[in-house]
Structure 1
Amino acid sequence: GIKQRVEILKALFRNAELLILDEPTSVLTPQETEVLFKTLRELKKHGKTIIFISHKLKEVKEIADKVTVMRDGKVVATKDAKDLTEHDIAYLMVGREISFERIPPPKKVGEPLLTVRNLSYINEENIEVLKNISFEVRAGEILGVAGVEGNGQTELVEILTGLREATSGEILIKGENILGLSPREIRERKVSHIPEDRMKNGVADKATIEENFIVDRYYKSPFSKGVRLNWNYIQDYSSKLIKDFNILASSSKATISSLSGGNIQKVVVARELSSNPMVLIADQPTRGIDVGSEELVHNLLTKVRDEGSAVFLVSADLDEVLKLSTRIVVIYNGEIVARFNKVDGLTGKDLGPYMLGIKREE
């Protein structure tokens, strides 16, 4: 929140008459967003023009005087904000109805599939980034992690997936400690990972869709026969995933770099979910994608949950955490500072003081 205000002050110091804000609230708590909006309204009173770009429709409705909606690179509507509802805006964005309702709770929750005990991590600068983190995720539930970015979430996910070594603690997958195992060994235990940065850790952008689909399974039958890849099967398999996950591409042989951000994310989600995971670690699963693709990902995460997987969801989007989670934990400064086992009626404003470190459970 402070960094956002510093950026606005820098622009004003240069006597800017036009401010273009691109997803300015993506890392802010509800309380910090209120402060930002108060500042923007003051700027408007002083004659400044503000272009506010956001996928958070509730905030668009709250702050904007006029709303312009783009779809497929074209402007499809410009209307007064007071004449539009959130559902109207979503419909204009994707051309169909979108549900914003909280998903129903799971019908059955089973045994713990992912258990973390007293996990700590001290980085190379001798800073304790994670401090005695403990939680469990059971079969058939989604555990959501709420928190301002930069409070240890990235390091936690990297440790869970074998990309970083913990300093101490335990991580159990169905009772087996996986600390020290490689990413491939962890994946062999039916753990899938939708990474925070799809371009850095999710895909090889110069490779084809087919190659990205099989990157974690190319050495298994029926994707290979002995030392040779079974390209006929791979092509049929990839074409089915493209159809099932509604990926817009010229063919399965198209390179990742030729796809839009939303379709690249669908490639990652398709690969991770098609492995039939027992545990799914979903880190910012809908970052940078349109509301239509977002709804698809939400439905898929719910389907995985209902099929008995344990889903560990990390998201900077509080609305997403509140919509999908069976239970919620809040992380601040590398510690879990609050746990909410009942999410009915819970709001972003309830979570905000914990995310800012103002409150914590004793």
Structure 2
Amino acid sequence: MYKLMLDGQISVGSPLTLAITTAGFNINSPCYEQYEFAKKILSGVVEKESLFIYIAEMDEDDDIWDYKNWAKANPLLLWNEDNSYNMEKVKDMSEKAIDAKEKGGQELINFMTKSLNVWVKYSGAGYVDLDKFKECESDLTLEDFKGQECILGIDLSSGGDLTSIALVFKFGDYYYIYSHSFMPILRLEEHEKTDEAPYRMWARQGYLTLTEGVFGLKTDYKYIISHLKKLIEDYNLVITACGYDGHNANAFLADLDFLNCDLVEIVQSAKSLNDATVDLQLSIQALQVKYDKHNDLLKWSFANAKTTQNSFGEIKVMKETNTARIDVVYSVIDAWKLAMAIDNTERYNAETDIEEWLEIMKEKGGEKDGNN
């Protein structure tokens, strides 16, 4: 239709065509094709002086949950004339953001496309091959990793939902994943009905703690901290790094100083998480991941995880519905991202050491030849 309208004005002097749209989730559409063309013009790859382009969008690596970034995609809505933020409108949009993050699926897609002007490709495909994931089951428990180094991942809920922590241990060519989750005790019955999940049984089995603090209705951050401290003490663990989702973490961070390690905010964007998400997926496929075979809460969370793709082909996990909780997966990926970074650093250092050793041997060989 757009092309027909342009062609229909071929005989008109100084024709003017206006096209206004927001992003969507069909990257095979004419709109996305025009968007890509416009980006090439703006970057100077293509020259077309007859086309005026204005795209209000966030930068590629921006955190989609930071309201300061929302203004880039909504300048008329969120900026006042004096360049200050319109906090009333920010509050309205924040409510949409909370719904999108908690419910996931179509709610998240709608928020990203219509509120943030981000092109999204939603595949709805399962994150892991469940048959392969089952093969990763192990008799190993945290007891087998006493005194070991590990990386911590934390996913905090915004209210009274599931909060999860994960520990990632490397042993040889394998990784062991430990997870534990928390839920306010007075939200238990509600979530058992809405999520259709046996939380009570998982609590009895020791994979979920039902917290009573903050009136048993909200996430008890202080209890989670005390649980972490006891875990580290009981198993003599050494936390080398901690990755966390910055959303809802402000009141929590100061209490993590006892870890004595780097605290790294993990930006929850496809660009930021793609490498870790793909690497964990491939590691599971290669059976390099091990976990406690009795941890059904972890299994359930991975079974719920779907993948979504941005317009650059980068992926992240998401839940299809608001009750298909994947908090454990989020915490594992936060830790996995740091594990990858540490592995890459160690690999680089090892390669550098080898190169230096070879150079020394070469020099020594030259000296020997010279002496002869």
TM-score (norm 1): 0.29
Q: Which has the higher strand share?
A: 1
Q: Which has the higher helix share?
A: 2
TM-score (norm 2): 0.29
